[in-house]
Structure 1
Amino acid sequence: MARVVESKKACTVNPLKMSQPLGASFAFLGLDACMPVMHGSQGCTSFGLVLLVRHFKEAIPLQTTAMNEVTTILGGYENIEAALLNIRKRAAPRVIAICSTGLTETKGDDVDGYLVTARKRHPELADTEIIYVSTPDYVGAFEDGFKHAITAIVKSQVKPLPVVADQVTLLPGSHLTPSDIDELREIIQAFGLTPIVLPDISGSLDGHIAPDWRGTTLGGTTLEQIRAAGASAFTLGIGEQTREGAEALEAIAGTPLEIFERLTGLASNDRFLQRLSLLSGKPVPAKYRRQRSQLLDAMLDGHFYTGGMKVAIAAEPDLMLALGGLLHEMGAELTCCISTTQSKAHELLPAEQVLLGDLEDLETAGADCDLLVTHSHGRQAAERLNKPLLRVGFPVFDRVGNAHKVSVGYRGTMNLIFEIANLMIERIAHHHAGDWPLTPEAQLATRRLDKSNDAFPPTPLAAASA
C-alpha cells in the first residue's frame, strides 16, 4: 500500500493533471448524438477543446455558455437558456450534457433550478435529454470528472427493467482508449454475452470518416442503450473510478457488480475471463488461451530489459496502477510515482509513496530513473534528463494513432511489454557511447543481442561500405 503525500509547493510549475470539467466532457463524448457544454467562460472550453483535438486529431463537438464578468455576477440563467435553445436549433442533439466549471461553482449557480425553469418556459426542449454534472475545476482531476459524469448519466437515465440474462454493462475508465474498449467488447462477445458500454468512445473517437456531419458526437452509447442498462444481469467496471457509477446501477436496478482495478497484466485478465466464463456458463475460448500463452512468452522475452530498472511515472490513479502494476510484475522498481488526485487505486500500487504533484516533481525525483512514463507534457523533462519517455494517458499530441493503441487484455498487455522493452533496447544501443549505466539484467540482454548479431555476417554491400 503506497503512502499518499500532497505536494506543499506554493504553485504548480509544470502541470500534470487535467480538470474535472474536461474529464466529464470526455465521458459525454462517448454518448451518441450528444453535445457537451461547459458552463463557464469561453477560455475554459477553448483550452479543453484544443487538448482533445490535438490528442485525437479529430473534430470535437464542445460548446460553452460563454460567461463574462457581468453574467457571472448576476447569474448564468440567460446564458444556459440561450445555449440550450441555440444548440437544439443548430445541432439537434438527443442529449445536451452540461458540466460546471470553477467560475460558476464559485458564484454558486443553481443549474438544476435553471434547467427546471428553462423546460417550463420552453416546451420545445421536451424532446432533448439534458444531463447536468457538478465538476468544479478547483478540486479533483480528469478522472474525478469522468467518474461523476458516469454517475450522472446512470442516475438520470437508468430505470429498473426485467433482467436479460446474457446482457452485461461495461463501465470503462477514462484511461482506456477506443481500441481498448473494442478489445474488451470483442472478449465479452466471445463468451456469447451482449455488452452495453457506458460511455463508449470507441464509437465516436475511434478515428473514422463519418458518412454524415451532424455537429454532435457521431457514434457512442445511444439513449436506448443507456436505458437498457437497467436490464443488465451484471456490471463490469474497469478502474476504481467506475465504482461510483456501478454502485449507482446497483442501487437503481439491483445489478450485481465487480470492479477490475486493471486489465493490464496476467492475473487481472485471468480473473476477468474467469468472471465472463461464470456469467456465460461457457469455457474460455481457445483464442484467449493461445493469447495467454503468447503473453507468458512475451513476459519472458521482455523481462531481460525491464528487470531491475527504475521507473518514474506520472499519471491519473487508475492508469498509474495499470502501468505500474505491470512494470512491477516485469521486475521494475517504481521509485517515483506522481499522481493527480486521491483514489483507492493508490492502495494497490506496489510503491512506497505516491506524491500528488506536478511534472516538475517528476523531473526532480526521476533524475536517477531509467524510464519516464507520462503524457506529452513530460517530453521536455525527458529531453533534459536524457531519459526514454513512454507516452501514456491524456494528452498525447506529438504522436499519431492514440485511439488505436491497445493495452488491455492478453494481447494489449503483450503489446505494451514489447513497447517498453523496445524503448530499453534503443537505450541500450546508446550504452556503448557510455551515456547510460546498465542493470545486470540489461547487461545480460546486451551480451545476448551482441551474440545474436555476430551470428549473422554482414552482407557484401555492408562489408564493402565498412
Structure 2
Amino acid sequence: MSHIQRFPNAAKAASTNPLKMSQPLGAALAYLGVDRCLPLFHGSQGCTAFGLVLLVRHFREAIPLQTTAMDQVSTILGGYENLEQALRTIVERNNPAMIGVATTGVTETKGEDMGGQYTLFRQRNPEMADTALVFANTPDFSGGFEDGFGKAVTAIVERLVEPSPATVKTQINVLAGGHLSPGDVEELRDVIESFGLSPIFLPDLSLSMGGRQPADFTATSLGGVTVDQIRSMGASVATLVVGEHMRIAGAALELKTDVPSHFFSRLTGLEASDKLIRVLAEISGRPVHPKLRRQRESLVDGMLDGHFFFSRKRIAVALEPDLLYAVTSFLADMGAKVVAAVSPTQTPVLEKLTATTVMVGDHSDVETLARDADLIVSNSHGRQGAARIGVPLHRMGLPMFDRLGAGLKVSVGYRGTRELMFEIGNLFLSREMDHDHHPAASHEGHEDRTGQDCGGGSCGCSAV
C-alpha cells in the first residue's frame, strides 16, 4: 500500500475556490424532502439568497425557502420577535404541514436557545398546533453540508416520530443521507419494494426534487414523506441508515422507538450492494428477485469488461465526506489509485479513506494535487481548475449546474454502480481513442519557425 499522507486541517490564508457548503443549506435540503414543508433560515436575507440560488441552479426547480430577515439591531437584541413573526406569517399565508427552522451564523454567533424559543412559540400561539415545527441548530461557521443535513433529520426524528405498540411487518424506515440524489432514493425504493416491503424515506427527495410540474403554484415543497408517515416510523420492523452523517439520527430513532437499525457506510460497489440485498432478504424473509440477480450479473460482467481501463489510473476526488468515501472506495475496488481525497470538513469517515493524500481543503488544493492525475471527480465548481491543468472532470455531488438531470443521476445499488463505472470508464476510453486518432495531441510544446508553440501540430509542422 502506498504511503498515506493526511492533512486534517490545511493552514491557508484564504480559500479561492471553496469546496465547502454550509450547514443551513444541508438542513434546508433535508426539510425539502418532507411534503408541504417550508424551510426557514433564521438569519439575514443574504444567507438565504445564496443557498436558494445554489439549489435552484442544481435542481432547476422552484425552491421554497424563507428567512426571518435579521438585521444588526435584531441580531444584537435578540431575534425571537423576527422568528415568531415569520412563523405566524408563513402559517397564515401558506398553511404548510411543517416548518423547518435552521439557524445561521448570524443568530448562532449571538447564541439562540432554539428549544426555549420553540416552547415559547407554542405557548403564545396555541391556535397553530396543527402545523409541525422543527428547529435545528446549524451554524454555518462550523461543520458542513452533510452535518446540517444530519442535524435536521435528527431534529425531525426527535420532534415528530412517535413510539408505537404495534408493528407493521412490511414497513421499513430508510434514513437517506444528503449524499444520495433523488435518483438514488428512487432506485433504493425500487430495490426495497422488490422484497415486498413498504419503505418510508426520511427525507424523501425522490418525490419532492425529482422533477414535477404542478398544476398550480405552491409555496411549499411538492411531494416527499408526509408528517403522518414520519410519526408512524415507530411501527416499522427495521431502519436502514445510509451514511456516517446519519448515524446520530439513526441512534435517536432507535432509542425513541426500539426499531432495530442497520447501518450502511456506502451503497456504491458490488460488496456494498450485496450487503444491502442480504439485509433486505433477512428482513423480508423473501428470496432475491430475479431482476436483482440479473442486475448483479450485468455489473460483474461490466466490471470484468471495464477494469482494464481503471487499472493504475490516477484519480483525485473532492466531494462531501460520505460521498467521498463511497466514490474512493469504489475506485479502489476497480483497481484505480486515488492520489488525492479532499473533503470540505473533518469527519470520522475520513479515517477510512484509501488514498495517497487525504486532506480537508478546497478546489485549489485539488488543482495542486491532481496535476499528474488522469481524472478529477468533483462538483461543477471544480471545472475551472480541471481546465487549467488539463485533466478531465467527472461531475458528481452538489452543485452540478452545467449538466441536465443532475438530481436524477444514480450511483447506488447494482444498477447505479454499473452506470457510474461505465461513465468514468468511458472517459478513460475516449481519451485513449482520441490519442490514437489525434497524434498532434502528443506534440504539445513543439515550436514552429517563429518560435511559438504550435498548439499540438496546428502549424502543419513535420512533427504531425
Q: Structure 1, residues 308-359: CA drift from partner, whole Å, max 9, x if none?
A: 1000110111101111111111111010110022223223222244200111
Pair 1:95-2:98 in alignment:
yes
Select the residue among 164, 167, 192 that pairs with 2:196: 192
Give the distance between the partners of 1:417 and 1:285, measured in 2 at CA: 23
Pair 1:347-2:351 in alignment:
yes
TM-score by length of 2: 0.92
Residue of structure 2 equivalent to 1:111? 114
Contact in 2 for aligned 1:98/1:131 (Cα 8 Å):
yes
Provide the secondary structure at the position in 2 that maps to 1:22.
Answer: helix
Pair 1:363-2:399 in alignment:
no
**Structure 1 pair 2/365, CA: closer, same or farther in 2 (3 Å)?**
closer
Give the distance between the partners of 1:373 and 1:28, measured in 2 at CA: 27
Residue of structure 1 equivalent to 2:59? 56
Residue of structure 2 equivalent to 1:250? 254
Contact in 2 for aligned 1:100/1:133 (Cα 8 Å):
yes
Select the residue among 409, 422, 425 that pairs with 2:426: 422
Give the distance between the partners of 1:211 and 1:254, measured in 2 at CA: 41
Select the residue among 15, 19, 23 that pairs with 1:16: 19
Provide the secondary structure at the position in 1 that maps to 2:346.
Answer: coil
Residue of structure 2 equivalent to 1:121? 124
After superposition, residues 364-379 of structure 1 pair within 5 angstroms as: 364-379=368-383
Give the distance between the partners of 2:389 and 2:16, measured in 1 at CA: 17
> Unaligned 5+ residue runs, structure 2?
444-464
Q: Which amino acid aligns with 1:306?
A: F
Q: Which amino acid aligns with 1:149?
A: A
Select the residue among 71, 86, 90 that pairs with 2:89: 86
| CA drift at 1:279 | 0.6
Residue of structure 2 equivalent to 1:457? none
| CA drift at 1:3 | 4.0
Select the residue among 222, 225, 244 that pairs with 1:221: 225
Provide the secondary structure at the position in 2 that maps to 1:293.
Answer: helix
Contact in 1 for aligned 2:8/2:346 (Cα 8 Å):
no
Give the distance between the partners of 1:71 and 1:395, measured in 2 at CA: 32
> Unaligned 5+ residue runs, structure 1?
438-466
After superposition, residues 270-285 of structure 1 pair within 5 angstroms as: 270-285=274-289
**Structure 1 pair 436/414, CA: closer, same or farther in 2 (3 Å)?**
farther
Pair 1:382-2:382 in alignment:
no
Q: Structure 1, residues 360-387: CA drift from partner, whole Å, max 9, x if none?
A: 0000011110000100000001110111
| CA drift at 1:110 | 2.3
Residue of structure 1 equivalent to 2:456? none
Give the distance between the partners of 1:342 and 1:227, measured in 2 at CA: 33
| CA drift at 1:398 | 0.6
Pair 1:403-2:417 in alignment:
no
Q: Which amino acid aligns with 2:190?
A: E
Percent identical among aligned pairs is: 51
Residue of structure 2 equivalent to 1:444? none
Select the residue among 135, 138, 147 that pairs with 2:138: 135
| CA drift at 1:111 | 2.8
Give the distance between the partners of 2:49 and 2:374, measured in 1 at CA: 36
Pair 1:323-2:327 in alignment:
yes
Give the distance between the partners of 1:146 and 1:382, measured in 2 at CA: 28
Give the distance between the partners of 2:90 and 2:42, measured in 1 at CA: 14
Pair 1:204-2:169 in alignment:
no
Give the distance between the partners of 1:365 and 1:436, measured in 2 at CA: 23
Pair 1:46-2:52 in alignment:
no
| CA drift at 1:301 | 1.7
| CA drift at 1:421 | 1.0
Pair 1:150-2:156 in alignment:
no
Give the distance between the partners of 2:41 and 2:441, measured in 1 at CA: 48
Give the distance between the partners of 2:287 and 2:7, measured in 1 at CA: 41
Give the distance between the partners of 1:170 and 1:4, measured in 2 at CA: 33
| CA drift at 1:4 | 5.2
Contact in 2 for aligned 1:204/1:220 (Cα 8 Å):
yes
Provide the secondary structure at the position in 2 that maps to 1:38.
Answer: strand
Residue of structure 1 equivalent to 2:34? 31
Give the distance between the partners of 2:175 and 2:80, measured in 1 at CA: 33
Give the distance between the partners of 1:377 and 1:336, measured in 2 at CA: 17
Q: Structure 1, residues 390-415: CA drift from partner, whole Å, max 9, x if none?
A: 10101000111012211111011111
Contact in 2 for aligned 1:102/1:136 (Cα 8 Å):
yes
Give the distance between the partners of 1:137 and 1:95, measured in 2 at CA: 23
| CA drift at 1:167 | 1.2
Q: Which amino acid aligns with 1:281?
A: G
| CA drift at 1:2 | 7.8
Give the distance between the partners of 1:54 and 1:158, measured in 2 at CA: 33
The total of aligned residue pairs comes to: 437
Residue of structure 2 equivalent to 1:266? 270
| CA drift at 1:109 | 2.3
Give the distance between the partners of 2:274 and 2:82, measured in 1 at CA: 50
Give the distance between the partners of 2:353 and 2:175, measured in 1 at CA: 21
Pair 1:299-2:306 in alignment:
no
TM-score by length of 1: 0.91
Give the distance between the partners of 2:333 and 2:24, measured in 1 at CA: 34
Q: Which amino acid aligns with 1:157?
A: L
Select the residue among 425, 429, 433 that pairs with 2:439: 433
| CA drift at 1:209 | 1.0
Residue of structure 2 equivalent to 1:440? none
Select the residue among 165, 168, 193 that pairs with 2:169: 165
Provide the secondary structure at the position in 1 that maps to 2:212.
Answer: coil
Give the distance between the partners of 1:115 and 1:278, measured in 2 at CA: 41
Give the distance between the partners of 2:247 and 2:112, measured in 1 at CA: 28
Contact in 1 for aligned 2:241/2:263 (Cα 8 Å):
yes
